[in-house]
Copies of this chain bind each other. A is one copy, B any other.
Amino acid sequence: MSRNESPPGHPLDLATTLEPVAAHRWRAHTSPDYANMVGPFGGVTAATMLRAPLVHPERLGEPVALTVNYCGPIQEGEYFVGARPVRTNRSTQHWLIEVSQDDEVAATATAVFATRRDTWSATEPRMPEVPPADAVAPAEALAFTSWPSRYDMRFVRGALALDDDASQAAETREHHDSVSTLWLRDTPSRTLDFVSLTGLCDAFFPRIYVRRPRRVPIGTVTMTVYFHADGAMLAANGDRPLLGNARAQQFRNGYFDQSAEMWTADGTLIATTHQAVYYRE
């Protein structure tokens, strides 16, 4: 397969398929390929929600920012996505997006779309110095949930090392930080676009699992993605892996936040992403 083709029927495209049912409204369906512990992998829910304005006939420009709030689990089966432009300006457009199932809201999102012009540009953080992706071994798939098998993850630093042996006090194995640096891409490989980039932005494991290697209940409550590339830049990446760099900032009383940068192999910062995550200790 060439670098610039997605396989027909890529699992991500099947999992984010929208079937129009009315103006501003589509039917979607959960996919076993992206199942998580409770409901679908949040990255695919976010990608499905972003797809609605992307396919909407009134769309202006391309995504600049997306924020998804996860309100409750989506049950296996069909669900509905609503999306409407609440304000369209000359070069920006603001969206409200909602996932509902059984007449209950399961997720909400807002998105900012815009047409961009060439301007002075600059990058402030430095890309981590890492070996190339093909010099790093892929992580083994996790046994307890299916969605990680849909991503090729090659950890340079901060691999997941969950230990379910409760007899060993987690405190004695606590890491001094929660940083992970890894190459990642879709499995099978797929040309980068806004849908896949959104999923990739949620593919960092919850930072508490890196900081304290034992499994506790967690759930992202809100995720934001800032897109720093247009569709042409994403397509030009082809299916090459991205370098992700993620870390938590503050864990306190049941919630923590984590942030990540997404780099192309040639050093372009194409997205920054942030989320707040519930945890139970």
Segment of A46-54, A187-195, A236-244, A255-263 in the binding face: A255-263
A69: interface (CB < 8 Å): yes
| Bound complex: CA A205 to CA B58 (Å) | 33
A122 to B170, CA, bound (A): 15
Q: Per-position contact with B for A114-158: 1 when CB-CB < 8 Å, else 0?
A: 101111111111000000000000000000000000000000000
| A11-19, A24-32, A196-204, A269-277: which lies at the interface | A269-277
The reply on A181 being an interface residue by CB < 8 A is no
Given contacts A119-B279, A274-B224, contact A230 B253 (CB under 8 A): yes
Q: How far is the CA of A79 from the CA of B112 in the complex (A)?
A: 22
Neighbouring B residues of A224 by C-beta, 8 Å? 67, 222, 224, 274
Q: A176's closest neighbor in chain B, by CB? A: B124
Asked if A226 is at the interface (CB within 8 A of a chain B CB), the reply is yes
User: Are A108 and B94 interface neighbours, CB within 8 A?
Assistant: yes
In the complex, A89 has a CB within 8 A of chain B: yes
Question: A64 near B276 (CB under 8 angstroms)?
Answer: yes
Which chain B residue shows the least CB distance to A281? B119
Does A159 interact with chain B (Cβ within 8 Å)? Answer: no
B112 to A276, Cβ gap below 8 A? yes
Knowing A94-B108, A110-B69, A222-B112, the reply to whether A255 touches B124 (Cβ < 8 A) is no
In the assembled complex, the Cα of A37 lies from the Cα of B268 at a distance in Å of 33
Q: Give the residue of B110, B114, B226, B229 whose beta carbon is less than 8 angstroms from that of A257.
A: B226
Cα of A37 to Cα of B29 in the assembled complex, Å = 46
